[in-house]
Structure 1
């Protein structure tokens, strides 16, 4: 008993310091996001936040459940179409339009997930890709998506009836609020008992089955949650850029979110944020240059794979400084 008490008394002060440091880092990050429109173009920042939320939602499935989906563009682009149609054709306010997009993405996630989780590994990935391509061709032929032209001139409307989102500053802080809510939901999921079960499935699915967990149901639930949060990002994107096109549901979009997640570090909460920031920044600043964006992005990815096997944030978590600050990365 004496040894146990002594150990606990020694551990308490050492545990407080990392928590304080992490809280300070979080507060500094939020402050930077609030002040960012003073220094950067708001539309660029909104694009970054949309894709950062997209990457975090995808990471919930890949990093914490161990399921690699090649079809997440279906949920991102599908929600963009649903939100754009609801706001433009039905006249819904932006908050309800986004909820329509989230509900549509969750419905798609339930259908695709129900069919895909019956297989594992590369077979799971290929099924998600095939079903996502089927949805792509549906969007190409469907009347409400306007085919190759897409849904254009989507009105941003007024949030709650009185906040004019046509002003970039108002729209930015709305996107920031949705982004914070989305990331907070993901944080709560992965730190809940449900999230612990997802991690156990990722580490050893056979053992999770032997413990009595219905692994298939947990996988499906994680898939639907990831799809719904991806839909949240897609709905916001449709309002920010005021259009929804076939690019949003193409397989290249699924490849981009995988790239963002791997660059930042799978199995980390903030890793996809850094990965999305890196990719979006490269796309934005190289778009007007003579350098081919895809080649430069590929070179950056090759360098990160060779030097940062766990991703940028994942390597930091496993460094001496990261461990000293109380971060850990076990994936």
Structure 2
């Protein structure tokens, strides 16, 4: 894991380049391109692989909202992702709730945990903040290991996908893919709106110079808590959706390594960029899927990719492209 100061001190490309009308037009074209790719992709690639990319892409976008724009490095985001996955799976399998309600239950779980953990973590800054988030996430992990409703080491298996609004059966991968794609696009647009709202501008000011923001009268801790909860909520949405896609909620989702993985996705794609986490998620998930034959060597390969990204282009893949184009992406 890279040094905390090195991560948080890196100036995102989005901070260096203002967003003009032309930039917004470019972003609209990129959004349109993403939608077109999402429509055509299931005809070329395996839908389950695509859904995994979208779930982790949303997870990385949620984390980037906290790190790239809030300047807060959390080592415990797996807690919201994993616990939401458990609640969503349990709601669908044991309570027999419709998929949309199960996903909502998981998302609310992520929001409540974010409020609770965030209230404690924001009392400290820097590495102390990061260590508190890690400690709280480990508490969530051991709770998941011991609690009866989680199934312990077996997890919650054979989660029914159900029928969306009682009408559309989601057992067909392509029908579920359509739902996951809609959730992903909605989450991406929401994050984009947050970033470019007055709230988002205050977040960037706090990230760049917190003492100055305090001197201007902003209640910094309230803004930090708000972005923490928003990030945890969207991470919960990603985890809830993933539980239905794979019909499984397991300890892997809440393990500390999942927190490290989302950090890796964000940094490889480009911290503080709008579209970087999506690219990072695509790269990491593709490596895990198509290099699985190498077994444990996949982790080593991921480590090498991460080291190369840090050494050669700290802005990440999209950050490097943005710098070359001189356009914020």
Taking structure 2 as the reference length, what is the TM-score of the superposition?
Answer: 0.92
The answer to whether the aligner puts 1:328 opposite 2:311 as a matched pair is: no
Q: 2:96 is matched with which residue: 70, 91, 98?
A: 91
Which SS does the other structure have where 2:137 is aligned? helix
Q: Deviations over 1:49-81 (max 9, x none)?
A: 000000000000000000000000000000000
Cα distance in 2, alignment partners of residues 95 and 257 from structure 1: 25
Give the Cα–Cα distance (whole angstroms) in 2 for the partners of residues 171 and 287 of structure 1: 25
Whether 2:263 is the aligned partner of 1:255: answer: no
Distance apart, 1:19 and its partner CA: 4.8
Change in Cα spacing, 1:71 to 1:21, as seen in structure 2 (3 Å) is closer
How many Å apart are 1:255 and its aligned residue? Answer: 0.2
CA distance, structure 1, for counterparts of residue 21 and residue 278 of structure 2: 26
State which of 279, 287, 294 in structure 1 corresponds to 2:292: 287
1:1-331 alignment to 2 at 5 Å? 19-289=24-294, 292-319=297-324, 322-323=325-326, 327-328=327-328
Structure 1 segments, 4+ long, off by >2 Å, are 15-26, 288-291
Do 2:81 and 2:236's aligned partners in 1 also have CA atoms closer than 8 Å?
yes
Offset of residue 292 of structure 1: 1.2
Shift of 1:306: 1.4
Alignment check: 8 A CA contact 2:23 2:328 kept: no
Measured against aligned partners, the alpha-carbon deviations of 1:211-265 in whole angstroms (never above 9, x if no partner) come to: 1111011100110000000000000000000010011000000000000000011
Unpaired stretches in structure 1, ≥5 consecutive residues = 1-14
User: For the residues of structure 1 that align with 2:280 and 2:306, how far apart are their CA atoms?
Assistant: 10
Q: Deviation at 1:301?
A: 1.0
Give how far 1:302 is off.
1.3
The offset of 1:17, in angstroms, is: 5.5
Distance 2:34 2:268 in 1: 20
TM-score w.r.t. length of structure 1: 0.91
Q: Where does the alignment leave 5 or more consecutive residues of structure 2 unmatched?
A: 1-19
Post-superposition shift, 1:25?
A: 3.2
- Between the two proteins, the alignment pairs up a number of residues equal to 310
Change in CA separation of 1:62 and 1:17 when aligned onto 2, cut-off 3 Å = closer
Residues 74/18 of structure 1: CA separation in 2 closer, same or farther (3 Å cut): closer
Cα gap change, 1:103 to 1:306, in 2 (>3 Å): same
